[in-house]
Structure 1
Amino acid sequence: MVLVLVGGGGALAGGLYYRSVESDIERVDAFTGVPEQERPEVVVKDAMNLMILGSDTRDPEQTSGSRADTIILAHLPKDRSSAQLISIPRDTWVAVPRSADGRHGGRDAKINAAYAWGGLPLMVRTVEKFTGVRMDHVVMVDFAGFKEIVDALDGIEIDIERGFTSTHSLNPDSRRTFRQGRQTLDGAAALDYARERYAFPDGDFARIRHQQQVIKAILDKAVSGGVLTNPARLNAFVKATTNAVAVDRSLSLVDLAMENRHLRGGNLGFYTCPVKGTGQVGNESVVFADTPAARSLFDAVRRDSVPDIVDSGT
């Protein structure tokens, strides 16, 4: 979601007010205890890689521990002409390093288990180990913040691929029906749309596609003239976005926004980490990465040469 704020940077980056807003953003320790000797080297100076983690605290399956439900590697190339967002399915089976307390990890597991076992530092280590890409910054997004952000924009336009009914909705009866076609979604509907996976045969992969759609739609709406030229709407959008995120201690959202003020939805490339399919490991349902294809994609990230294409149907 940080890229949404980035996209509006031309209008919001310059003033002392926005510096004061940034000072209120929650800061998190993401790199404390991450051993330098095990981290990937920087290949292209001035390119930037951010690990964006989203948490869905309303997930009915989330009954214990803290899990990162959405994992995105966002790559900003050296020339800042575009951005590539690579979603990593949360059930991807990877090697998780041992946690700092020595009680967890040191074995293969679902990638999002790293956050439950060792917080952000272990998540950074796990994603870096899996991708071979060094993370420069970390952004945590409260999924519930989607609602306030979308409402601050007076809704977003989404082209729904096929109709479905969510049975884990924010509505009092936990149900919301979506019709096929292009339509405007308010905050609650957008959040339901971005959360739903049970209604689709491909489950979390459908949810990844829909989250990417929502990110692009928010960015497109945020940089439209109606928002940028309306101080009240812009203020509401900025406050909603900053309330929804926490960032590592060295990331300046204002500076990032200034660097990337030309970004629009058309400059974003969406990808999903290549996979071979799903299966079982013991009693766990997991996703198996297509290692050669994933290695090729993440090597392109390291070399700052990811193609500017949309790769996931958004």
Structure 2
Amino acid sequence: MSYLQQNTDPRLPPLDPPVEPAPGGTKRPRRRGRRILLVCLLVFSLIGGGGLLAAGLYYRSVESDIERVDAFDGVPEAGRPQVVATDAMNLLILGSDSRDPEGTSGSRTDTIILAHLPKGRSSAQLISIPRDTWVAVPRSADGRNGGRDAKINAAYAWGGVPLMVQTVEKFTDVRVDHVMMIDFAGFKDIVDALGGIEVTAEKTFTSIHPPFRTFQKGKQQLDGEAALDYARQRKQFADGDFARIRHQQQVIKAILDKAASGGILSSPTRLNSFVKATSNSVSVDEGMSLLGMASDLRGLRGSNLNFMTSPTKGTGRKGSESVVLADQEKVATFYDAVRRDSVDEILAAGKKD
């Protein structure tokens, strides 16, 4: 029986008694004028010299209006991993797709990425942790949930962003420095602002969502709606959610590549549309400096982003649930390289997996 046939509810395991929305997962009202981190990653990172200074003054002027989440509120310092490589940074990216046609709950994280930014910031390693990975989830701050093994994305449902930070740190033994939350449904407008993106499909397949578009094998141009549809597909693939992870990685890379080469910086109209398209899609933790982050990442391009998946043994079952089984031995070696900021070892381990 395939993973998809076994997995009747891939998003969340059965929850403990219903919980109230966690403080770390509750967002403040969005502010119309804020400009947020995804812009920095995809646009501001492309600006150099005088443009960097001018953009920096603009971003500083709206820093106080950026939507923030209390990502580390209540996370016990005593239980957190120690910092080993002081010049590296680890950014936890949590993605949801609030308009996914298959969505049944707003309290979930469809995408979990640990982005490792090494010393010098000449590259970035984006490590996807499958949302069904079976891990030890610490007990939530209110004591009502967690304290047992479960799918990793249950941590967000049970304790918001802080419990997700605790769970990822416990699983990887890597300290999380900052957190960014993305609504992937917002990618539609971002892609349209760029004039579309190019992806390469591994095979011809038809979407399971209306209007049931067909994606041809090979390179193709996608507008925003098609790109979002492409990033959601998994049931047509034998490896299920791993295919969805690949598709999301392709879309992220394609957006960055198009932003770097599509002339967006030379067109104030297109740049403004791009900035507006991101304004409702991202929030960041209380301590993140957008100006500092953007300056750090201004040299990144699709060519120096390395996408990989946390080491697994494939899928299996825990009771009635279909889950992803972590390869504990490889996990320990892999994340030890991340912790020590050994990029060559990270890449070598990623290729082996």
Q: Give me the TM-score of the superposition, normalised by structure 1.
A: 0.92
Does the alignment pair 1:175 with 2:212? yes
Moved more, 217-226 or 116-125: 217-226
3-state SS, counterpart of residue 129 of structure 1? helix
Moved more, 52-61 or 89-98: 52-61
3-state SS, counterpart of residue 223 of structure 1? helix
1:187 is aligned with what amino acid?
Answer: G
Q: Between Structure 1 and Structure 2, how many residues are aligned? A: 309
The match for 1:52 is 93
Distance 1:201 1:61 in 2: 19
1:75 is aligned with what amino acid?
Answer: H
1:291 is aligned with what amino acid?
Answer: Q
Deviation at 1:227, TM superposition (A): 1.2
3-state SS, counterpart of residue 109 of structure 2? coil
The match for 1:185 is 222
Deviations 1:201-224 (Å, cap 9, x if unpaired)?
Answer: 111000111111111111111112
Distance 2:103 2:112 in 1: 16
**8 Å contact kept, 1:153–1:221:** yes
Distance 1:244 1:162 in 2: 30
Distance 1:225 1:284 in 2: 45
Question: Which of 97, 101, 117 is the aligned partner of 2:138?
Answer: 97
Distance 1:305 1:3 in 2: 26
The equivalences for 1:107-122 within 5 A come to: 107-122=148-163
3-state SS, counterpart of residue 302 of structure 1? helix
Deviations 1:197-251 (Å, cap 9, x if unpaired)?
Answer: 1121111000111111111111111112511222221222223223210100111
Does the alignment pair 1:76 with 2:117? yes
Deviation at 1:298, TM superposition (A): 0.8
Deviation at 1:6, TM superposition (A): 2.2
Distance 2:197 2:40 in 1: 15
The match for 2:266 is 229
1:250 is aligned with what amino acid?
Answer: G
The match for 2:28 is none
Deviation at 1:306, TM superposition (A): 2.5
Distance 1:18 1:230 in 2: 19
Does the alignment pair 1:206 with 2:247? no
Deviations 1:74-109 (Å, cap 9, x if unpaired)?
Answer: 010111110000000000000000001111100000
Distance 1:105 1:221 in 2: 41
Deviation at 1:62, TM superposition (A): 3.5
Distance 1:204 1:40 in 2: 29
The match for 2:16 is none
The match for 2:188 is 147
Deviations 1:158-185 (Å, cap 9, x if unpaired)?
Answer: 11111111112xxxx3422111111111
Distance 1:278 1:36 in 2: 33
Deviation at 1:152, TM superposition (A): 1.0
Deviation at 1:30, TM superposition (A): 0.3
Moved more, 86-95 or 247-256: 247-256
CA-based RMSD: 2.1
| Alpha-carbon spacing, 1:61–1:225, altered in 2? closer, same or farther (3 Å) | closer
Distance 1:10 1:156 in 2: 17
Deviation at 1:260, TM superposition (A): 1.5
Deviation at 1:60, TM superposition (A): 4.7
The equivalences for 1:6-85 within 5 A come to: 6-8=41-43, 9-11=45-47, 13-14=52-53, 15=55, 16-64=57-105, 66-85=107-126
Q: Give me the TM-score of the superposition, normalised by structure 2.
A: 0.83
Moved more, 75-84 or 54-63: 54-63
Unmatched tracts of structure 1, length 5 or more: none
Unmatched tracts of structure 2, length 5 or more: 1-35
Deviation at 1:288, TM superposition (A): 0.2
3-state SS, counterpart of residue 71 of structure 1? strand
The equivalences for 1:117-132 within 5 A come to: 117-132=158-173
Distance 2:64 2:200 in 1: 36
Distance 1:50 1:91 in 2: 20
1:142 is aligned with what amino acid?
Answer: D
Deviations 1:97-145 (Å, cap 9, x if unpaired)?
Answer: 0001111100000000000000000000000000000000000000111
- Percent sequence identity is 70
Does the alignment pair 1:5 with 2:40? yes
Deviation at 1:44, TM superposition (A): 0.8
**8 Å contact kept, 1:52–1:72:** yes
**8 Å contact kept, 1:7–1:262:** no
2:237 is aligned with what amino acid?
Answer: F
Distance 2:198 2:64 in 1: 31
